[in-house]
Structure 1
């Protein structure tokens, strides 16, 4: 799922604090205004959006690819120029995992009129044609009618309009919501609302990793088996403390810029959490060293070990491996615990765990009464605030002021509200107007004794509302999210839909996109941490190395060699190819570090295969060991530099790696989609290419790290560097936040 906020910086943006991996969202969070808090308005009614105000009248952009459901374009502002009624409502359908479709809507309200845009010199700048003329009859001071969308498509980052104002204040009213059927279809596959979640058995994993550690488990100063130098299989561990945890723990871990970060909370009997870490605890370069750690600590199958270190569980199989992680288990105390134990539950952001403050708010636990107004004491019970409300607040004005002051003055409460997922009516649906606003006529109400004023208000409100043109069901409750929390959360998921991957690799055929999509997304999670810059470079290099995913993914085979030449028994390509791989390329020359035997056919047998064209018997052997297809002790390390390897007859005491199935990492037939992509991801982390990508801003349009990546992939092929960068730029334009 590729998603971004409605405002984007127009130049490079990098965070100095590496523990904060999303500086774009950190910047946009600062635009949220106190008078538009989600989900409670200043008058105690539902307010299922947020008010955002950038410094200038900034461009409002689509947060994801979508379809226009309804819109209003005004020539003039209303209310003597103090209000903007322009809006765009989009429908989005995307993917967050294999077979996981998410359908949601986004609303952008109070967009600037065309006349105001013209005065500011942004007349028509970047807008689609349907947004360049009024959507209906337009008279100064009146509300222009809204119209139903007619199938118009927009792409993420397209400009939908510019920030206008309402009631004299400049801001955007912004919402994200789901229809009940779409909500149930998606969240029925998560653990939202489950207070006792179990470790999932699916591969639907993204975002941060969470461990639920029950009370009374053993923590160690060092992993058992560590030697006198505090090393376990050559990996050094810092000595910590030995003890048991008195309370259950919630552990959050994530990677950012190569480092690992950990937050920990203890959990009291009533479910309340107390932070044991003031700031995320860093382990520098931990992610960059994952491959090294996996090889050392999981010798039987380093690939499984890599997944344990990355995900907390092995997604590609049902097995498990002992995995020691560093955790703060009490105030000022840290130790190592094996998180592979079954009693420790492993989840991710894909599960929407309730202990990370996601809360479904519906009729059974809502702080809103039957009159549609929020009760402050009911709200305090939900957020576990024992403090009672002000007993002197009796009038509606006093109650509204008390609630508004409570929410605005407590950061902790506003953070809790960001996790509310609310089943509520839309304020843009006029079927609920009489109920929603009836109390305005009561004693102390705004329209007390002023029936004509109340009716004029309802008439104006109905003109602003637009639900009747959307084609969506009227009179029903929807599921609303704090829109910035929704975007921030789903930005952790980099799973690309077929449409997104096709745009990122535009020369790839639809058939090959469909064929490799799941594998590319899985290795993006496993090796690239769903980093958009990293993925852009990986796709750019893969596009070049595989001729855009064509053919069997084998050197000199993507365009001319059919998959039939990549069978288990046949990998020979004829005398011309033999000449190339032996004489021209040096693939079988004496003392070649590729580990190929001279004049033996090794050059052809172990030619470049997979997403990044891994080459040579030595590299094949490393990957075969990584996947547990070959035992490390079955051959001599660096056999090709040992005296006598090249002699005729060869020194029988020297054992090269014996690999009879090199086609395992080619795409020789359907059904072998994963291995050629995975071997590319393996090569990527073997050479720590993520560290090269991580110096690049996700805002810049140019893939500035491209030459560094290309040099690692193939330093001898410098004439192709420009094409590789072009491919990476295409992917970055689609996946990253560059505008």
Structure 2
């Protein structure tokens, strides 16, 4: 709750131009965060802590948009708006609505107990409530909670905040609050990848051979050394952000004298690098067999294309675990303070992280240094940020100026802060007693009468002790998240919890056939979903399917038909039927090949040719070990695939064969520039686009109606409309 407006702290109705979120995303469209001094997070102009943000509702036709839940959860507190005539709601002669909903959110951001998190979202100053809301009621993302109300006469607005206790904060960020650890977490990985490169890194003018971990080492084979561009290596610690979003961009950060990190520069984007990861991984694998390393047995230490794909995608291997003798070098051309050049980002002293680590280089900070229990911000860190003239004193005028400086606003917008909630009834007077005394940012203290009126007003909004939920943070031990940044952060994490995967793939299978929806026989169960859920999440992230909801909808929509929502992972044909139908197709050239290489896995990998390509991708088979196009050769060496059932017996393989096919489908397993279905998924969810994707996956249009139904159903679930 914002404290009494002070002189020079006017609170006009927020206008779209006063928002602090950029255009072009759902936050900009639906979270119009009010400007500093008008309910912004985390402090006001008078240096009072403010645990959330005032949001202005965007228009929806002729009415303000509804207030909706940010994620699935359960209602743990509910308070309907007080009557219009209630005096304490008309503080300073303007109305403030007191309708309130608190939702508990239990979800997962990765694998294992350390990635199971609980947090709470608070929606306050609602004018009306959805009549069906009740404590204990299950809520789904996008469900309507009510309508926005007034905040000190400003309409339509709400106060919105996100909080958790310290135990869950540690799970959310993967450590105790503070700087990142020695290595990034692997239980949760999402968003951008970050590399901390200590000073002294060797920098090269030309791209080294992937066999080499140091290109200044003595010649080997026909690979000749090149000198490092900088004697003694790079002169400063640097951090490199690797972002895949169709292209790949490498941005370098350096530390400023004040301890913050700023952008040094970025390399030109590598165009369509995300779409071409499979091609690039295959090319790097092939270089271990080129003439440069002939006679060195380089092939025996060559990482598989799958491992190289993961290295390029994450900067490290997470799902793949290459043997110790495998040469896994990750060369990238980056900007440094000493010039541009190639650096090996796989060196042991290079530390690798993702956005799941909430790294300080991405702007995140953790504020827990306010020694006082009241609502006045006495954090030395925050005061240092606001102290523009470095005098050690922050006046009201200086706070106003500082909070409108873009760099400081961005710091505030990524500060996760621990301070007492403003919504607790206990200790209310003590928490706000500082308003009765002069302060560096408070030139007009309150009289006793004014203070008592403020306390009566505040009591009507307090609710903290009324929330009866075990994990709800204690009033004085509450961690507050910057609301917009929190939502942006977790829109990058599309890990599906057990409940979320059940919504996508429920036990009851609905099939669209002949233009009619009907329930079809299925054997899906919670146990079967859980058998594949972890690897499905891991592999969708590896193949950038989770980059946006269109990709997820296409991938899982096709999977709903191909695997009957994970229930059928091998083809439902008899041995005789498979041998007849698949004879002399897809590389099948021997009796029995049709059944041996029948459809298996999430995308029903079919035919000896596709099996051979997948075996090469995993490193189980070398390309030189069999004759290309063996089915047309008079005396071929055929690929040795003795145990095709590993696509059924190992859940990782079952799903991985499907995600590999997603990458390789447009060229039937052969790498070239158009080698990822993500490229086509990014064009949208239209009926025509689903038909095109179906043709690429299926080779025809079998089950098109059903694929279209499930893809569009899933987009409604995952998307924002």
Normalised by the length of structure 2, the TM-score is 0.80
Q: How do 1:174-323 residues align onto structure 2 when only pairs under 5 Å count?
A: 174-187=160-173, 189-190=174-175, 192-194=177-179, 197-200=181-184, 202-225=186-209, 242-243=229-230, 244-256=233-245, 258-268=246-256, 271-277=259-265, 281-299=268-286, 300=302, 301-319=304-322, 321-323=328-330
TM-superposed deviation, 1:460: 2.1
1:40 aligns with 2:32: no
CA-to-aligned-CA distance 1:592-619 (integer Å, 9 cap, x gap) = 3x11115x01011111111001111011
Residue in 1 that maps onto 2:363: 357
Residue in 1 that maps onto 2:428: 433
> How large is the RMSD of aligned CA atoms in angstroms?
2.9
Residue in 2 that maps onto 1:676: 654
Residues of 2 paired with 1:280 and 1:72: CA distance? Answer: 53
Taking a change above 3 Å as real, the CA distance of residues 486 and 151 of structure 1, as seen in their structure-2 partners, is: same
Do 2:31 and 2:57's aligned partners in 1 also have CA atoms closer than 8 Å?
no
Q: How do 1:312-351 residues align onto structure 2 when only pairs under 5 Å count?
A: 312-319=315-322, 321-330=328-337, 333-351=339-357
Q: Secondary structure at the match of 1:655?
A: coil
TM-superposed deviation, 1:160: 1.0
Residues of 2 paired with 1:450 and 1:97: CA distance? Answer: 52
Residues of 2 paired with 1:581 and 1:155: CA distance? Answer: 44
TM-superposed deviation, 1:298: 2.4
CA-to-aligned-CA distance 1:442-483 (integer Å, 9 cap, x gap) = 358799684333223212211121123212565432011101
CA-to-aligned-CA distance 1:649-706 (integer Å, 9 cap, x gap) = xx3xx2121211111112x4xxx21101000000001131000011227xxxx67632
Taking a change above 3 Å as real, the CA distance of residues 389 and 369 of structure 1, as seen in their structure-2 partners, is: farther
Q: Secondary structure at the match of 1:731?
A: helix
Do 2:121 and 2:163's aligned partners in 1 also have CA atoms closer than 8 Å?
yes
Taking a change above 3 Å as real, the CA distance of residues 469 and 703 of structure 1, as seen in their structure-2 partners, is: farther
* Structure 1 unaligned spans of 5+: 1-19, 115-126, 131-148, 228-238, 394-398, 558-572, 645-650
Do 2:185 and 2:353's aligned partners in 1 also have CA atoms closer than 8 Å?
no
TM-superposed deviation, 1:191: 6.7
Do 2:248 and 2:271's aligned partners in 1 also have CA atoms closer than 8 Å?
yes
Do 1:429 and 1:474's aligned partners in 2 also have CA atoms closer than 8 Å?
no
Q: Secondary structure at the match of 1:429?
A: coil
Residue in 2 that maps onto 1:417: 412
Residue in 2 that maps onto 1:12: none
Q: Secondary structure at the match of 1:614?
A: coil
TM-superposed deviation, 1:431: 1.2
TM-superposed deviation, 1:354: 2.4
Equivalent pairs, count: 618
Residue in 2 that maps onto 1:624: 615
CA-to-aligned-CA distance 1:252-291 (integer Å, 9 cap, x gap) = 11111x21122211225663323212x6742111111110
Specify which of 515, 537, 540 is matched with residue 521 of structure 1: 537
Residue in 1 that maps onto 2:588: 596
Q: How do 1:296-695 residues align onto structure 2 when only pairs under 5 Å count?
A: 296-299=283-286, 300=302, 301-319=304-322, 321-330=328-337, 333-362=339-368, 365-366=369-370, 369=372, 372-374=375-377, 379-381=382-384, 387-389=389-391, 399-408=395-404, 410-442=405-437, 450-471=447-468, 472=472, 475-506=475-506, 507=509, 508-531=524-547, 532-551=549-568, 553-556=569-572, 573=574, 577-578=575-576, 580-583=577-580, 585=581, 587-589=582-584, 592=585, 594-598=586-590, 600-642=591-633, 644=634, 651=635, 654-666=636-648, 668=649, 672-687=650-665, 688-695=676-683
TM-superposed deviation, 1:177: 0.6
Residues of 1 paired with 2:185 and 2:462: CA distance? Answer: 45
Q: Secondary structure at the match of 1:160?
A: strand
Residues of 2 paired with 1:347 and 1:464: CA distance? Answer: 41
Larger RCO (CA within 8 A; separation ≥ 6): 1
Residues of 2 paired with 1:494 and 1:683: CA distance? Answer: 21
Residue in 1 that maps onto 2:150: 165
* Structure 2 unaligned spans of 5+: 1-21, 212-225, 287-301, 510-523, 666-675
Q: Secondary structure at the match of 1:729?
A: helix
TM-superposed deviation, 1:433: 1.2
Taking a change above 3 Å as real, the CA distance of residues 82 and 241 of structure 1, as seen in their structure-2 partners, is: farther
Specify which of 718, 725, 729 is matched with residue 712 of structure 2: 729
Do 2:252 and 2:263's aligned partners in 1 also have CA atoms closer than 8 Å?
yes
Do 2:77 and 2:103's aligned partners in 1 also have CA atoms closer than 8 Å?
yes
Residues of 1 paired with 2:531 and 2:131: CA distance? Answer: 33
